[in-house]
Structure 1
Amino acid sequence: MQKEEQVSFLAEKIRQADAVLIGGGSGLSSAAGYNHYHWLPYMEECLQDFKEWYGLKSPFDGFYYCYSSPEQQWAYYARYIQSMWDAPTGQPYYDLRDIVAEKEVFVLTTNIDMQFERIFQKERICDYQGNSGYVQCSQPCHDQIYSNVEMIRRMNENIRELRVTSELLPRCNECGRIMVPWVRDDTFLEGKDWREGVRRYENFLKKYLMNGTDKNVVLLELGVGEMTPSIIKLPFWEMTYKNEKVFYACLNQKKSSAPEHIKDKGIYIAGDLAETLRDLKENIAGKEM
């Protein structure tokens, strides 16, 4: 099928669906102009001085860089996270919201940039790799995450020579250790908030895919790469194979192919993801592409 035919075919599958499970990867934010693995204009402008001084190859390169001091590290964290707080909601996210507006929806995402939270309620999201809008104890000594919006703004107002002052370093109220962003690394807190997100995801699966349900479900995989296939891609393949009423759709920049055992139950649409979502939205709305 040509791309236009593929989009029309998927639009009809979504119309027929009782529920849509979205698997959102970094390619979706890249389509919105927020690429965390390569420099694009928005992030580059926000982080230009750090990029030049440290020779950073990408925003995430700076996030995991081995800084000489926590004052330097948190200066980068603050600028980077502030850029995500300030980033306008990407058009692909608005289009996605409209595509599934009439459906029961849940989002499983590996993205940490808070874009999904702009368009879907928290109760419909599982942030599997964390969320850059929160901090946790670096130990972690206790099971709690905290919104960082105010501390991030204060630090940004006081960055000097790519550092923040020691007094502004966020510290744990319980043990006094420096806090870190609630983003997947070797200290990541899989505590009550993370478990609650996973529980919401599992409850959605039980309602629409398990317990002998007879629901039509579309698994809509968007911009998911090969870095962490065990979170979204592989489970989506397995659910497609095991459930007669499930249809799998993979939308991505690069061409992909389905495993042999689900080829008749899925579709791959390659190309500009922002363009594909726009066309899909217009098709569902009954407009000519």
Structure 2
Amino acid sequence: MKNNEQQALHRAMSALQEAECIVLGGGAGLSAAAGLAYGGERFTASFAPFIRRYGLTDMYSSGFYPFRTQEERWGYWAKHISLNRYEATVTRLYRDLFQLVRHKNYFVITTNVDSQFEKAGFPADRIFEVQGNYGYLQCAVACHDRLYNNETAVKEMLEQTINCTIPASLVPMCPVCGGTMDPHLRINAYFIQNEGWHQANEAYQRFLSAAEEKKTVLLELGVGYNTPGIIRYPFEKWTHQNRNATLIRLNKSDPEGMKENESKTISITSEMQDALSAWIAGDE
């Protein structure tokens, strides 16, 4: 590790130790660093039949593939949801992250939909999953705002998938309008923001308001430019507006930030696990 990286890690550790509040922002790069990558060997090993049949290249773009039938679509989505929500156990990176902040006053905002924060021990009432969660289904046209747990349905689909296709009888249908259903993900304008979503958002906003006059660390983890308006830009703005704020950005490919925040930003491009291990060791 280079000297500048070591210095950044020491600065970050000091800021975390002194922090009265910590806001964690988890992006796609965090889960990728934890081993839950959407491409590469993990994708090719799990989706070989779908790759041969449809020419799919990764799990992100595959979510927008125009499958010819709902039976084919859910043949894919059952495997996608199962792999990322039900087969994936809690990862070391998320466990270490919880160990780092568990005795602090913290809140999590994340664009990730894989429940890794909750699996690692973060209480649900301290997590705002802005983009949804793999564990639920919703009406595809949002005719009502109820969400439906999909674990049993996904398991049945997987068990009866043949040639990348599920039986017509297992295609999820909306119990209210009779139309199709979607995973509860922000994939179009019909994403449901129900009472639970708004309660989480309000809890997050209350936390930010209470932190304004306190020593606060915004710990940004693996957030790029896919949806920068959810975590990255708001973190920059909040850091700029609050004199006691420090922004710690862990991001291998996009470490840059606002010049106005240069003195209040600690950018770290080393491996996330290395950084967390160093911080935890320093906190013991």
Task: Tell me the amino acid that sits aligned with residue 200 of structure 1.
Answer: A
Percent same amino acid among aligned pairs? Answer: 32
CA contact (8 A) 1:19 1:104 kept: yes
Aligned to 2:278: 279
Task: Tell me the amino acid that sits aligned with residue 100 of structure 2.
Answer: I
Aligned to 2:49: 49
- CA shift at 1:254, angstroms? 2.2
User: Structure 2: 5+ residue runs without aligned partners?
Assistant: none
Which deviates more, 87-96 or 272-281?
Answer: 272-281
Task: Tell me the amino acid that sits aligned with residue 182 of structure 1.
Answer: H
- CA shift at 1:189, angstroms? 1.1
- Shift of the 40–20 alpha-carbon distance from structure 1 to 2, 3 Å rule, reads farther
**What are the residue-to-residue correspondences of 1:75-154 with 2, within 5 Å?**
75-84=75-84, 85-119=86-120, 120-154=122-156
Tell me the distance in 1 between the aligned counterparts of 2:258 and 2:59. 33
- CA shift at 1:238, angstroms? 0.6
User: Structure 1: 5+ residue runs without aligned partners?
Assistant: none
Aligned to 2:208: 205
Tell me the distance in 2 between the aligned counterparts of 1:146 and 1:231. 25
SS of aligned partner of 1:83: helix
Task: Tell me the amino acid that sits aligned with residue 146 of structure 1.
Answer: Y
- CA shift at 1:39, angstroms? 2.2
Aligned to 1:71: 71
Aligned-residue CA RMSD (Å): 1.3
Aligned to 1:194: 197
CA contact (8 A) 1:135 1:180 kept: yes
Alignment match of 1:4 (pick from 6, 15, 25): 6
Tell me the distance in 2 between the aligned counterparts of 1:68 and 1:140. 22
Tell me the distance in 2 between the aligned counterparts of 1:10 and 1:93. 18
CA contact (8 A) 1:255 1:268 kept: no
**Partner deviation per Cα, 1:66-86 (whole Å, 9 max, x = no partner):** 000000000111001000111
Q: TM-score, normalised by structure 1?
A: 0.93
CA contact (8 A) 1:92 1:278 kept: no
SS of aligned partner of 2:173: coil
Tell me the distance in 2 between the aligned counterparts of 1:68 and 1:275. 44
**Partner deviation per Cα, 1:220-253 (whole Å, 9 max, x = no partner):** 0000011111110110011101101111010011
CA contact (8 A) 2:224 2:254 kept: no
Q: Does 1:16 align with 2:15?
A: no
Which deviates more, 166-175 or 21-30?
Answer: 166-175
**Partner deviation per Cα, 1:10-33 (whole Å, 9 max, x = no partner):** 111111111110010000001111
SS of aligned partner of 1:162: coil
**Partner deviation per Cα, 1:117-156 (whole Å, 9 max, x = no partner):** 2121110111111111111011111111111111111111
Tell me the distance in 1 between the aligned counterparts of 2:113 and 2:254. 25
**Partner deviation per Cα, 1:161-190 (whole Å, 9 max, x = no partner):** 110011001111111112110001222112
SS of aligned partner of 1:161: coil
**Partner deviation per Cα, 1:200-234 (whole Å, 9 max, x = no partner):** 2111112212xxxx311100000001111111011
How many residues are aligned here? 279
SS of aligned partner of 1:256: coil
SS of aligned partner of 2:246: strand
Task: Tell me the amino acid that sits aligned with residue 77 of structure 2.
Answer: Y
**What are the residue-to-residue correspondences of 1:124-273 with 2, within 5 Å?**
124-186=126-188, 187-209=190-212, 214-254=213-253, 256-273=255-272
CA contact (8 A) 1:223 1:251 kept: yes
Q: TM-score, normalised by structure 2?
A: 0.94
Which deviates more, 78-87 or 111-120?
Answer: 111-120
Tell me the distance in 2 between the aligned counterparts of 1:30 and 1:148. 24
Aligned to 2:59: 59
**What are the residue-to-residue correspondences of 1:32-47 with 2, within 5 Å?**
32-36=34-38, 38-41=39-42, 43-47=43-47
SS of aligned partner of 1:2: helix
Task: Tell me the amino acid that sits aligned with residue 266 of structure 1.
Answer: T
CA contact (8 A) 1:113 1:131 kept: yes
Which deviates more, 113-122 or 219-228?
Answer: 113-122
Tell me the distance in 2 between the aligned counterparts of 1:160 and 1:236. 46
